[in-house]
Amino acid sequence: MVLAITACAGCGSGSAAIAVRTADTPIERSAVAHWAKAVGPEVGIATWLARSADSAREKALAVLISANWLKGEAVARGLRVSKSKVEHGLDERIDSVPNGRSEFEKELAATGRTVADAELEIEAETAATALRAMVLREVPPVAHGDIVNYYERHRAQFHVPELRIVDLRENSPTRSAAVELGRRLGPGRRFAKGALREHVAKQTAYEAAHRENGELVHTIMTARVGRVAEPVSFKRAWVLAVVRKVIPARFKPITAVAAEIGARLSAERRRLAMSNFVKAFRSKWTAKTDCRPGYVVQKCAQYRGPIAPESNPLTGGA
C-alpha cells in the first residue's frame, strides 16, 4: 500500500488523532508511534532523514515529515511518483534478498517495519532522486569562456615550481667522510653509479622553514649543475648531491588544465544549485508544516529552538 503514512488500520482519523500536518497532508499520532519503533535501528531512508542524536519520536517525525515534503515537492514540480515506480523499487529490494519475499518480510519485522513502511521509504527516495535530477538538469553548462576566465583569475593554481633532477648519496656518517667521498668519486659516472636519483621541486618559504628536508632542498636548489654540492646533515647522516638537470618553473598551459577547470566549475555549480534548492525547499515546507504540542521538532513552523545541522534531504550528504 503506497502512501501509508498517515494512519494504520483501525485508527481514528479525527483531528485529535493528527500530530502534524504538512500542507494538506496529515501525519497521525499512531504513525509517529509506529515509526518511533521502526527507526530505532536507523535503516532505510531513516539513515539520512533522521539525525542520530534525535530521540525515537524526533527521528520518526523527521522521517515522516521529510517524506511528505519530498512527495509534495515532487508533485508540485510535476514529478509525481507513480505506483508502478514504487512497486518496481519494492520488487528490486525483494529480489536482492536471497530467499525472496518471505525473508524480506522477516528482515522488516525484525526492525519493527512493514511492507507499507518500505513502500513509503521507496516513494520518498524516488521523489528525492527525481528532484535531484531536476536540480542538476537546470545547472547551466560550463562554456569555454568560463574556463578561460577562471584560468586567468587563478593562474597561481597552475604554477609548476622549478624542478631539479639530482643524484644523492646519503650514508656518510660524518661531514668529513662525506667531503672525502665527494673528492674521491667526483661528480661523474662513479658518483651516479651508486646514487639515488630524485626529482626535487623548489619549496615555498613556509615549506623550507617547517619541513625537515628544508636545508637539503635549499642546497639542491642553489647548487651548480654537474658539481658535487657541500654535504648536508639529514636524518643522522651526511648527504652529497649532484644536480644533473634543471627544469625551469612554468605555468601549465590552459590546454592541459581545461578539462580539470571545467570539471571543477561544473561541480561547484551543481553544489551551489543543490544548496540553493535545499535552502528554499526547507524554508517553503517548514512554513507549511503545522505541528501539535508534543510533536514540535525543527521542521515545524512552531519551532523556536536552536537550529541543528541536517543532512541534505535529496542526497543524505551535508
Instruction: Write the DSSP string, 7-42.
Output: --TT---SGGGEEEEETTEEEEHHHHHHHHHHTTT-
pLDDT at 53: 62
Per-residue pLDDT at 265 exceeds 70: yes
Average pLDDT over residues 229-240: 94
Which residue matches cell numbers 545541522? 309
pLDDT at 152: 97
More confidently predicted of 87 and 43? 87
Residue 80's pLDDT band, with cuts at 50, 70 and 90, is: confident
Residues 125 and 227 in one domain: no
Looking up residue 190, the CATH number of its domain turns out to be 3.10.50
* pLDDT above 70 as % of the chain: 90
Average pLDDT over residues 66-74: 95
Residues 93 and 56 in one domain: yes
Residue 221 lies in a domain: yes
pTM of the predicted protein model: 0.74
Using CA atoms, how far apart are residues 297 and 49, in angstroms rounded to an integer? 13
pLDDT at 245: 97
pLDDT at 8: 40
- Supply the range of the domain harboring residue 175: 162-248
* Three cell numbers, residue 74: 515532487
Using CA atoms, how far apart are residues 27 and 17, in angstroms rounded to an integer? 9
Per-residue pLDDT at 73 exceeds 50: yes
Residue 88 lies in a domain: yes
Residue 3's pLDDT band, with cuts at 50, 70 and 90, is: very low
Residues 130 and 46 in one domain: yes
Residue 59 lies in a domain: yes
Using CA atoms, how far apart are residues 297 and 53, in angstroms rounded to an integer? 13
Residues 121 and 38 in one domain: yes
pLDDT at 107: 84
pLDDT at 46: 62
Residues 47 and 110 in one domain: yes
Number of separate domains in the chain: 2
Residues 167 and 231 in one domain: yes
Residues 35 and 93 in one domain: yes
More confidently predicted of 208 and 257? 257
Residue 284 lies in a domain: no
Average pLDDT over residues 146-151: 98
Q: Is 4 helix (H, G, I), strand (E, B) or coil?
A: coil
21-35, 41-55, 163-177: the lowest-pLDDT one: 41-55
DSSP state of 229: P
Using CA atoms, how far apart are residues 20 and 26, in angstroms rounded to an integer? 6
Residue 266 lies in a domain: no
Residue 71 lies in a domain: yes
Residue 302 lies in a domain: no
Residues 167 and 131 in one domain: no
Residues 101 and 175 in one domain: no
User: pLDDT tens across 267-282, in order?
Assistant: 999 999 999 999 999 9
Residue 151 lies in a domain: no
Using CA atoms, how far apart are residues 203 and 220, in angstroms rounded to an integer? 11
Residues 100 and 173 in one domain: no
- The mean of the pLDDT values for the chain is 89
Residues 133 and 166 in one domain: no
Residues 175 and 128 in one domain: no
